[in-house]
Amino acid sequence: MPKEWHELGPFTIFDLETTGMSAVNDRIVEIAALRVERDGTISRFHSLVHPGCPIPPAATRVHHIDDAMVAEAPKFVRIARDFLNFAEGSVLVAHNARFDLAFLQESLARCGMPLWRGDTMDSLRLIRKTHPGLPSYSLQNLRKIFMLEDSIDGMQAHRSAADVEWTVQILKISLNSLLHRPGAAE
């Protein structure tokens, strides 16, 4: 039986920022991922993404990514293979995974890339099971409840790199809760 949460991996925790809420009609503007190997080794992936369309002001108000920031960024098709190679052989994890996975799969299909066929996990569903009854399971609320640390200087909520760091901490809390709960197999 594993003693540390990362021994259950490897995990690739990822987050996307987008031009809107529709995986079909909107596009990715940022992708970040943190891969945790079974031995606890960490590697990171990050890129702004040129969406091929203007970023609506409402989206910019949320994630603070504007058209000028992505003007020279690669389009998704140029980074898709790198991301798939980065995540290969791991469990893909996101907070509210339905949203991020829908965008990932739609974006991969749109550019003729193979879809993600590996295992997936939703840290939102997992934390709800291990810590029922919290007033909110939004990442920002969980940051406050669990006093999550900022491990990157200048991290900003609703930017992929920051949200990935906090999601890793939520995953760790959840999986450690399962591993160390009374009655867990030794």
Active site residues: 158
Please state whether 32 falls in left (phi above 0), alpha (psi between -120 and 50) or beta.
Answer: beta
Task: Give rounded-to-5 percent helix, strand, coil for the chain.
Answer: 40, 20, 40
Q: In what order do the strands lie in the sheet with 120-122?
A: 42-48, 28-36, 11-18, 91-94, 120-122
Q: DSSP characters for 63-92? A: H---HHHHTTSPBHHHHHHHHHHHHTTSEE
CA distance 33 to 94: 9
